[in-house]
Amino acid sequence: MSNRPRRADPSKSDPELLTRTSWVNAELAYRQVKRGRADGNTCALWLRLYLQRYLYSIGCLLQLHCGKVTFLGLLLLSLCCVGLKTGHLETNVDELWVEEGGRLERELDYVRNTVGEGSGTSYELIIQTPKKGLSLLSVESLTLHYQAVLAATKVKVIIDGLEWGFREICYTADFPITESNLVDLILEGILPCVIVTPVDCFWEGSRLLGPDHPVATGGVADIPKYISWENLDPQSILRKLEEANNNNVPVDAMRDLFHRAGITSAYQEKPCLNPKDPDCPKTAPNFNGSVPDISGEFSKGCAGFAAKYMAWEQDLIFGGVKKNKTGHIVRVEAFQSILQLMADKDLFQYYEDDSKVASIEWTQDKARDVLEAFQRKFSQVVNNFGNESNKDNLYAFSYTSLMDIMRDFSSLSVTRVVLGYVLMFVYACVSLLRWNDAVNSQSGIGMAGVVLVSLSVAAGLGVCSVLGISFNASTTQIIPFFALGLGVDDMFLIAHTYYENAGHVPTPVSSSPVSEP
């Protein structure tokens, strides 16, 4: 018999082999499975075997040149951080949410190339909701909405010494030119801004259209000497012009135009929200002083002065609508009014040859400044319109306010980020500190790990900047803290593993990286 001692059973000499076979030594586990002494996935063990050999060789190389590797790594990360200088913060909604190369982007490009950048209209929204979940079908709620819209139409801003009001920059309805200079002057004076609002169901909607100063007519053909949309009855004026037999006025053409547009008596036959108003017309259904039927009027539908073109869809002006079986509106949970403004290109072209801007250098950028200033003032006025003292909430929305929100939310708070990283630095130092075993304390590893994570995050963002990848709200508000959490978590795992295996990690000098079975 041979006196050579028997080789010990690997499973007994290495207890962890039974619980963490492939993690501890994939080569040993692979051989045991191949010999039929254990069960396991040979393909996975074979792959992990070569990964362990490869990572072990890299670890040995790093250990031999730890100083050089640390220096080069910190130098490379620092150089990547320099790329942050070229970072660009993207807050444009189109760039953030429109799919690159998608159909919507192609359509937007087509519009820009066809009509030009900055053409069209912009929309300012006024939204009203109840504070306690009640319906808005009351005179009080609708009156509050009317007052808020009226206040919005009175907003004025001053840019370079010039005053700009809503009626100077709004998108107006268009009428064809007639052969009568008098009619053209009157139409130009009362040309209304386009406002989509539930107030158009009532006579008070006429006050939103203005004009601020009644237009003089000269008293021709018994027409009122001064007219505004509060007292304007287009059909009555046509009849009086026809009775006057004034050949200079194309009555037939205007009657045909009014018929095609659905222009009748404008607001003169609509009920008044406040029938006690001295200006409430006698032709109003509730001129006798009765309270208007809000629900009934809304169920009929709301329209502007040109009913065939300005019949507002319920989804545009109402929210949370509930109807009974007969289609009668019994509940409305939100009102919405839309004020339309000219876009910057149209505003620039409209006043390009006007004497109003003769004293300044009028450009499309200056027109954009006017619109942005007005939209910010509009949002401020509506949002502060008695929200605390009234039973309903009022909210304003405009494209500029959205851009301001995106810009404010996307801006990086250096104080918050630095404070978060400092707190994590202190936490890592304290949690890994071993008070009774200072030699094996891991607090230094924790602090170094937090510093390395911080440099890695900054370097990654710097590389993105150099590659032309724009930053957004996610980049500035989420990624720094998300990456900190993931990086510090891995740092704790590395520190824990190092503490467990620091005493028996094989090195090229001491032993082989794998054990023979």
Write the single-letter amino acid at 108.
L
Q: How confident is the model at residue 515 (pLDDT cuts 50, 70, 90)?
A: very low
- Quick one: average pLDDT of 308-316? 89
* pTM higher than the cut 0.75: no
**For residue 251, is pLDDT > 80?**
no
Are the CB atoms for 253 and 184 separated by under 8 Å? no
- Quick one: average pLDDT of 143-158? 93
Are the CB atoms for 442 and 432 separated by under 8 Å? yes
Instruction: For 255-269, write each residue's pLDDT tens digit.
Output: 888 888 888 888 999
State how far the Cα of 434 lies from the Cα of 339, in Å rounded to an integer. Answer: 67
Give residue for tokens 């362990």: 52
**For residue 511, is pLDDT > 60?**
no
Instruction: For 429-459, write each residue's pLDDT tens digit.
Output: 888 887 777 666 788 888 888 888 889 988 9
Choice between 478 and 370, residue whose per-residue pLDDT is larger: 370
**For residue 317, is pLDDT > 90?**
yes
Name the nearest CA neighbour of 320 among 331, 308, 309: 331
Backbone angles phi, psi at 196, to 5 degrees: -95, 115
Are the CB atoms for 132 and 391 separated by under 8 Å? yes
pLDDT, position 512 = 47
- How far from each other are the two terminal CA atoms of the chain, in whole angstroms? 22
Query: Among the listed ranges 67-76, 208-217, 392-401, which one has the minimum average pLDDT value?
Result: 208-217
Beta carbons within 10 angstroms of residue 459's beta carbon: 19
- Quick one: average pLDDT of 152-166? 92
**For residue 301, is pLDDT > 50?**
yes
pLDDT, position 338 = 93
Name the nearest CA neighbour of 339 among 373, 295, 379, 388: 379
pLDDT, position 262 = 85
Q: How confident is the model at residue 197 (pLDDT cuts 50, 70, 90)?
A: very high
Instruction: For 425-437, write each residue's pLDDT tens digit.
Output: 888 888 888 777 7
State how far the Cα of 370 lies from the Cα of 259, in Å rounded to an integer. Answer: 37
Q: Which long-range contacts (CB under 8 A, 24 or more apart) does 13-16 make?
A: 14/515
pLDDT, position 491 = 84
State how far the Cα of 404 lies from the Cα of 506, in Å rounded to an integer. Answer: 59
Query: Among the listed ranges 47-56, 94-103, 230-239, which one has the minimum average pLDDT value?
Result: 94-103
High-pLDDT (> 70) share of the chain, %: 85
Q: How confident is the model at residue 516 (pLDDT cuts 50, 70, 90)?
A: very low
- Quick one: average pLDDT of 488-512? 70
